[in-house]
Amino acid sequence: MTVTDKRKLLFSTIDEVAALYRAKAVSPVEVTEAVLERLALLEPKLNAFVTVLADQAIVQAKAAEAVFLKGEATTGKLLGIPVSLKDIFATKGIRTTIGSRIMSDNIPDEDAYVYGALIRAGAVVFGKTHMLEFAYGSIHPDYGQCNNPWDVNRTAGGSSTGSGSSIAAGIGYASLGTDTGGSIRAPASFCGIVGLKPTYDLVPRQGTFPLSDSLDHVGPLTRTVKDNAIVLESISTATFDYDAVFSGDVRGMKVGVLRSLTDSIADTEIRELSLAAVDTLLMLGATIIESTILSIEEVEEIAIPLLLAEASTHHRQWFPHREKDYAPSTFANIKEGFNITAVQYLTALERRRKFTEVVNGSLADVDVLVCPSFPFTATMKDPSFEEGSFDVSLRTIPFNVTGHPALVVSAGNTLSDNLPVGFQIVGKHGDEASVYRIAHALQVALGGFREPPL
């Protein structure tokens, strides 16, 4: 293959690669080798991987190749497709660091559910990706920052940093991440890809190191919306009528625009690109309705007690005697969690129930709600609660609190610095299909995935 052909292959969709396999135009081994070659080329710039599983990947690719050579009529959609996963998922016999010094030598004796699901689907798992320490908002200095392929001086967005960076850069066709307050949607937004936080517990969390049991979600990061659905179908109980979902027809669908979460963004380019995305949906035939979520600005008072208390519960075995092994801000968060009282925690649970009812009410008369995902593009380093206002996650964490599916797709790039702007689409519980339908039509209308210059 020429360099041009190889790059085209690396940025192809899952369906396109599978079609090439069936036609015997390219083999899973060739594709896997191309992915590993690109990883080796870009890794010094991106720092996207904690562990590369090259030998394992080639073995899995050869097994997939044997199936295609037999010409079997029916194969899984992920058979032979190179994918990665965040280093928060247990992998039997394979180091799982969770981005921390404390777990740097951790070798699990069981597989996380989603890792097993990928293996059963025939995917080629070639690496475990960089993440913020314990998914808690800070980089551990032992691992360093994971960089953005649009500008390697900026962060890829956390906590699923390596998953977002690698997929945007053409290193693999999908990656799995976790999202407690926006940790899938931030990398998707900053890197210009598609990231889905599914309905709460649609994807089993067994074998995933917990941050906050009430808020944690597992989901896929991909370059296209359809690729995202292909992966979700393989790791969850969801099934999709692909012809209906990906017809491109959104005529008559009702889209509720959360204007308060759009108009409050100071960055003019982000507001304009988000409103332009809404105009595109209108042009495609969707019905646009102005919507609100009452008291959404108060969601911090619900989310933070839950997050702090539940996270600290999972660190009891190391607190406080392993203080020096944590990044300072991670330890500070864990320490604060032990100060949350039972009354504060139970009050937050009750307010969570009521707030979920409010969001259900906002979705009652529309198919989806939409708004920008973040108030800024990729920053030089990962933003944290300690260094800024809660506006960082005001548009993402509400839907961790309520468990509604929320997807980020790119609305385009800014003119000022050519950085992606994320657009969020939120659906009813269990209705990933409507979210995907809107997102796919929008992505296609806006020209599809845009490759970074790297």
Question: Choosing from 100, 175, 183, 214, which is the catalytic residue?
Answer: 183
Report how many domains make up the chain: 1
- Predicted local confidence at residue 73, as pLDDT: 66
- Which amino acid makes up residue 68? F
| 390 domain-assigned | yes
| 353 domain-assigned | yes
Domain that holds residue 392: 3-301+340-445
pLDDT tens column, 207-247: 999 999 999 999 999 999 999 999 999 999 999 999 999 99
pLDDT band with cut points at 50, 70 and 90 for residue 389: low
| 180 domain-assigned | yes
Is 183 an annotated catalytic residue? yes
| 123 domain-assigned | yes
For 322-387, list the strands marked E by DSSP: 368-372
Structure tokens at 79: 């058979």
| Percent of the chain predicted with pLDDT > 70 | 98
| Pair 118, 232: CB distance under 8 Å | no
| Pair 404, 446: CB distance under 8 Å | no
Quote the mean pLDDT of the chain. Answer: 96
Residue 410 sits in a domain whose CATH number is: 3.90.1300.10
| 334 domain-assigned | no
| 318 domain-assigned | no
With a cut of 90, say whether residue 390 has pLDDT above it: no
Is 234 an annotated catalytic residue? no
| Pair 402, 201: CB distance under 8 Å | no
Question: Choosing from 27, 77, 84, 86, which is the catalytic residue?
Answer: 86
pLDDT tens column, 297-323: 999 999 999 999 999 999 999 999 999
DSSP 8-state secondary structure symbol assigned to residue 109? S
3-state DSSP assignment of residue 18 = helix
| 96 domain-assigned | yes
- Predicted local confidence at residue 137, as pLDDT: 83
| 319 domain-assigned | no
